[in-house]
């Protein structure tokens, strides 16, 4: 078990609280559309919710095992936009395959190894693969970095086997290049 100093724990709680409160504000779209409901009681509810979530989960967002958390977070932001774009492209690809009269679907299970080793990097890659329509992570062996992925067709499979852009981008985020 890794113990945090008081300063590290306070930092992780502050970062988590800010992220959770910002998330609450974003989910509370009524604030944007109906400004007169933006009152002290509603904001208090958001602060209380963010505090409860912070107390329960501050270890999850800012881990004591991590190094250079701020740099990794800054690198994650462009990756998230890239991943969202990949999700959009893959959605159109899957829709095309389903709507096409010949249904060019060629399902396959692929396996590949990655150089990623940290839990966060492997989890990010596995979740990114699963979030992208047309692919789903079946199994990951963290000791060897081996992945088994179901792909809807050859194109999504080749993106993971040949191109490896997603792996390189995740490695960049977690500084495992």
Indicate the domain borders of the chain: 6-61, 69-173
Mean pLDDT across the stretch 124-139? 95
Question: What is the CATH number that goes with domain 69-173?
Answer: 3.30.70
Report pLDDT for 29: 61
pLDDT in tens, 17-50: 988 888 888 777 655 555 555 678 888 888 999 9
Name the token pair of 145.
Answer: 């970095």
Residues of the chain with pLDDT > 70, as a percent, come to: 88
Distance CA 113, CA 132 (A): 19
pLDDT given at position 1: 44
pLDDT, position 5: 72
Give me the helices (H) in 36-141, please: 40-61, 69-99, 119-131
pLDDT at 37: 59
pLDDT band at 65 (very low <50, low <70, confident <90, very high): low
Strand partners, 146: 113, 141
The highest-confidence range among 6-10, 40-44, 94-98, by mean pLDDT, is: 94-98
Q: What is the pLDDT of residue 66?
A: 60
């Amino acid at each position: 078990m890794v113990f945090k100093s008081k300063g590290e724990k306070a930092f992780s709680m502050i970062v988590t609280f800010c992220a959770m409160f910002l998330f609450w504000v974003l989910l509370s779209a009524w604030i944007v559309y109906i400004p007169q409901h933006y009152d002290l009681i509603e904001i208090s509810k958001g602060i209380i919710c963010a505090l409860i979530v912070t107390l329960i989960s501050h270890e999850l967002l800012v881990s004591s095992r991590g190094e250079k958390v701020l740099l990794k977070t800054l690198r994650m932001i462009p990756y998230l936009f890239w991943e969202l774009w990949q999700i959009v492209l893959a959605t159109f690809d899957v829709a095309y395959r389903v709507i096409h009269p010949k249904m060019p679907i060629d399902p396959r299970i692929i396996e590949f190894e990655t150089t990623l080793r940290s839990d966060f990097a492997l989890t990010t890659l596995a979740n990114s693969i699963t979030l992208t329509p047309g692919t789903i992570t079946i199994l990951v062996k963290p000791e060897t970095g081996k992945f088994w992925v179901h792909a809807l067709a050859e194109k999504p499979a080749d993106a993971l086997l040949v191109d490896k852009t997603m792996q390189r981008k995740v490695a960049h985020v977690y500084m495992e290049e």
